[in-house]
Amino acid sequence: MKPVEIAKGIYDVGVKDWNIRDFHGHSTHMGTSYNSFLIVDSKIALIDAVKKEFSDELIDNISQIVDPKKIDVVISNHTEMDHSGGLPRVMHRVGEDKPLYCSKMGQKNLSLHFPQHFNYHAVENGETLNLGRYTLSFMETRMLHWPDSMFTYLNEEKILFSSDAFGQHYAGYEKFDDCVTEDIMLQAKKYFANILLPYAPLILKLVEQVTAMGLDIRMICPDHGIIWRKDPGKIIDAYVGWSRQNSGKKAVIVYDTMWHSTEKMARAIADGLSEQGVAVRPMHLRRSDRSDIMTEVLDARAVVVGSPTLNNGLFPSLGDFLTYMKGLKPKNKIGAAFGSYGWSGESVKLITQELEAMKFEMIDPGVKVQYVPDEKALAACFDLGRKIGQAM
């Protein structure tokens, strides 16, 4: 793809990964992009590289604007390999003596990824770099979402290069928020739910700090997906809302099933919730990707989890999902468990223990049914749904 000039002398020279469908375990139905930004001024700076496999494409894109050897400084906002994997190749072309700007933790982490002795320059928080008519400021954003993460801000154009924050896994020729539909917000939400959710308190603190600083942001350039130029406040406000986790009247029923008994229970619970005016999303674990389920969990008040008992334990897909959800640390949730069993019936107890460990407010001991739910059992499930709905 041709580089795009996003502001005077500033180019997106990044690449599209059109066909990636599994990004270290997340489903990426719309592919993704690895954005990289070239600033051509008296000095020339490159912000972030791309995944290793796309290094040559990045270098070709840069070469359409300038000879890579003319780049004076390379900036690494984040060490994760979708942005640093191409660094060795880029530094080789740019010149390994050229300064590589990063945070202090960036220097440590890049050194642990690459054996080359790059000419690191670890920036102080708030340090600036003058390129000529443009000046860059560096802002540490530790644990958003790695210890090395930082933002780079272009003062004169008020552009925030935000690394992973505000990104979306989306590959498209459309470059800006005013060129895409509202669907992009779903991709941004999915990105937040699966990558940034554990750090929600830090995000709220950062937004407070940036507001107190009076930092004017005209454009946000994340490392994935589209650039926010029409309304950067929209994605910032969305991040604040998602970080607060003030959920609406919504429930997700996450379950697996062997012979449809637990599934019948899920449907009866969904009916009870729906009767209470709750928006319900029943999600079968082997039909839905865990990252799509977490996207729904993000703004749900209730998460109701069901599993058959298999060999005295949970169905394996539940182990996967509960481990994943626990790591993402969702807050302000109410929960309940349900499941069918043949002869031992541990699943409800095991789910309850897991949800309690995640600090879910458990509002019912749960419903368990031997073999196949009869009308009475389904009525109990319906009542459980109603009870959860009334607790919202």
Catalytic residues: 24, 78, 80, 82, 145, 164, 191, 224
Query: Which residue, 101 or 255, has its beta carbon nearer to ligand FEO?
Result: 101
Q: How far apart are CA 79 and CA 102, in angstroms?
A: 9
Query: Which residue, 13 or 367, has its beta carbon nearer to ligand FEO?
Result: 13
Note whether 51 binds ligand FEO by CB under 6 A: no
- Minimum distance, C-beta of residue 49 to ligand FEO, in the bound complex (Å): 11
Encoded tokens for 48: 């972030």
Query: Which residue, 78 or 281, has its beta carbon nearer to ligand FEO?
Result: 78
Note whether 78 binds ligand FEO by CB under 6 A: yes
Cα-only R_g, the chain: 24
Note whether 80 binds ligand FEO by CB under 6 A: yes
Within 211-230, the residues that bind ligand FEO by CB under 6 A are: 223-224
149-157: list long-range contacts, CB under 8 Å, 24+ apart.
149/77, 149/78, 149/103, 150/77, 150/78, 150/102, 150/103, 150/106, 150/123, 151/77, 152/47, 152/75, 152/77, 153/215, 154/10, 154/39, 155/128, 157/7, 157/8, 157/10, 157/218, 157/219
- Minimum distance, C-beta of residue 79 to ligand FEO, in the bound complex (Å): 8
- Minimum distance, C-beta of residue 84 to ligand FEO, in the bound complex (Å): 9
- Minimum distance, C-beta of residue 201 to ligand FEO, in the bound complex (Å): 19
Within 276-315, the residues that bind ligand FEO by CB under 6 A are: none
Encoded tokens for 107: 């220097």
Residue nearest to ligand FEO (CB): 80
Buried b (16+ CB within 10 A) or exposed e, 242-257: bbebebeebbbbbbbb
Pick the stretch among 40-48, 74-82, 86-94, 331-339 that binds ligand FEO (CB under 6 A). 74-82
Note whether 48 binds ligand FEO by CB under 6 A: no
Q: How far apart are CA 390 and CA 223, in angstroms?
A: 42
- Minimum distance, C-beta of residue 17 to ligand FEO, in the bound complex (Å): 11
**The 159-163 sheet, strands edge to edge:** 128-130, 135-140, 150-154, 159-163, 219-222
Note whether 26 binds ligand FEO by CB under 6 A: no
- Minimum distance, C-beta of residue 390 to ligand FEO, in the bound complex (Å): 41
| Per-residue contact flags (x/-) with ligand FEO for residues 240 to 279, judged by CB under 6 A | ----------------------------------------
Query: Which residue, 224 or 333, has its beta carbon nearer to ligand FEO?
Result: 224
Backbone torsions φ then ψ of 238, nearest 5 degrees: -60, -40
Q: How far apart are CA 137 and CA 155, in angstroms?
A: 7
Contacting ligand FEO (CB under 6 A), which of 17, 82, 256, 289? 82
Encoded tokens for 138: 């560096």
Q: What is the largest CA-CA distance in the chain?
A: 77
- Minimum distance, C-beta of residue 317 to ligand FEO, in the bound complex (Å): 26
CA dihedral sign of residues 177, 183, 188, 189: positive
Contacting ligand FEO (CB under 6 A), which of 16, 26, 51, 83? 83
Query: Which residue, 223 or 296, has its beta carbon nearer to ligand FEO?
Result: 223
Please choose, from the candidates 302, 306, 313, the residue with its C-alpha nearest in 3D space to the C-alpha of residue 360. 302
# binding residues, ligand FEO (CB under 6 A): 8
- Minimum distance, C-beta of residue 145 to ligand FEO, in the bound complex (Å): 6
**Burial of 192 from C-beta contacts in 10 A (0-12 / 13-18 / 19+):** buried
Query: Which residue, 224 or 250, has its beta carbon nearer to ligand FEO?
Result: 224
Beta bridge partners of 334: 302, 361
Query: Which residue, 50 or 351, has its beta carbon nearer to ligand FEO?
Result: 50
| Per-residue contact flags (x/-) with ligand FEO for residues 116 to 155, judged by CB under 6 A | -----------------------------x----------
Please choose, from the candidates 371, 367, 364, 387, the residue with its C-alpha nearest in 3D space to the C-alpha of residue 266. 367
Footprint of ligand FEO (CB under 6 A) = 78, 80, 82-83, 145, 164, 223-224
